[in-house]
Amino acid sequence: MHLGILQAVLLGVVEGLTEFLPVSSTGHLTIVEKLLGLRVDDQGVTAFTAIIQVGAIIAVILYFRKDIVRLIAAWIRGLRNKDHRDDPDYRLAWFVIIGTIPIGIIGLLARHLITGGLRSLWVVVVALVLWSVVMWIAERVGTKKRNEEQLNLTDTIVIGLMQCIALVPGVSRSGATISGGLFRNLDRVAATRFSFFLSIPALLAAGGFEAATSAKDISAGVGWGPTAIATVISFVVGYAAIAWLLRIVAHHPITVFIAYRLLLAVLVAGLLLAGIIPAQ
């Protein structure tokens, strides 16, 4: 099924708005794709969904370009000279690499499950509700007394594993990783910044993999033109969403998003029970 320009713009906006907010971009894309009559189990649609995330990730790279350059430089210096290995930026660079390993392994091994059965809208509904409870608990139990420089290997492993849970549509990658940081007593800004850094290799790899392995499916289905348009739109909208989220978490708990998550779950459940949209 070829995707129209307006549909591509709509999906690009949805991706850019929701990729970094703790509301689940995959869940939202699944819902909107269903409403547009797209088959979410179609390989072309699956590839499209992964590829347009690259636009949002480019927004992260641009927004945090100074931090990223600093981390890469510190990492290279540390590899070359052990005297530089006490630099917090050297450790943080390694933590980003280590934290990405779990989702790389699980994402590859469970790829067919993620793009198949887990794309059911009933899964999205349940995940929206259940992870809202987790977010609420994380805000309540986390002391938020540790900053980014106090991040350690245990934090990295916990947050990296939490990111894997976000492979379930409706959980939210940022919601999972920020919650993981809060459970480890990181402050919200530190947890959110690390969530952004972790998103770069994970989503770039996912988008690149789909572009390389599903090029024919894109060409024969949604089309590369609409895919490119949606990717550009997700970049523009995503850049604005990053700045907004950082301001929000600096002054408010992530539980401010719970009401929206629950309302969306009720709305989707209603549409499913009414037979307006199919679950699978």
- Local confidence band at 130 (pLDDT 50, 70, 90 cut-offs): very high
Q: Is residue 278 part of a domain?
A: no
Q: Is residue 279 part of a domain?
A: no
Residue with tokens 């139990």: 141
Q: How far is CA 200 from CA 9, 160, 183, in A?
A: 23, 13, 22
Q: What is the pLDDT of residues 23-47, one digit of tens each?
A: 988 889 988 988 888 887 778 888 8
Q: Is residue 224 part of a domain?
A: yes
Q: Is residue 133 part of a domain?
A: yes
Three-state SS at 208: helix
The confidence score (pLDDT) of residue 51 equals 86
Q: Identify the top-confidence range among 161-170, 210-219, 246-255.
A: 161-170
Q: Strand locations in 176-261, DSSP E?
A: none
- Of all residues in the chain, the percent with pLDDT exceeding 70 is 97
Q: Which residue segment(s) compose the domain that 118 sits in?
A: 5-273
Using the predicted structure, report yes or no on whether residue 116 has a pLDDT greater than 70.
no
Q: Is residue 135 part of a domain?
A: yes
The confidence score (pLDDT) of residue 273 equals 93
- Count of C-beta atoms within a 10 Å radius of residue 83: 9
Three-state SS at 45: helix
Using the predicted structure, report yes or no on whether residue 7 has a pLDDT greater than 70.
yes
Q: Is residue 90 part of a domain?
A: yes
Residue type, 224: W
| Total number of domains constituting the chain | 1
Mean pLDDT of the chain: 89
Q: Identify the top-confidence range among 50-59, 149-158, 221-230.
A: 149-158
Q: Is residue 231 part of a domain?
A: yes
The confidence score (pLDDT) of residue 245 equals 87
Helices (H), 52-120: 53-63, 65-80, 88-109, 111-114
Q: Is residue 197 part of a domain?
A: yes
Residue type, 90: Y
The confidence score (pLDDT) of residue 115 equals 62
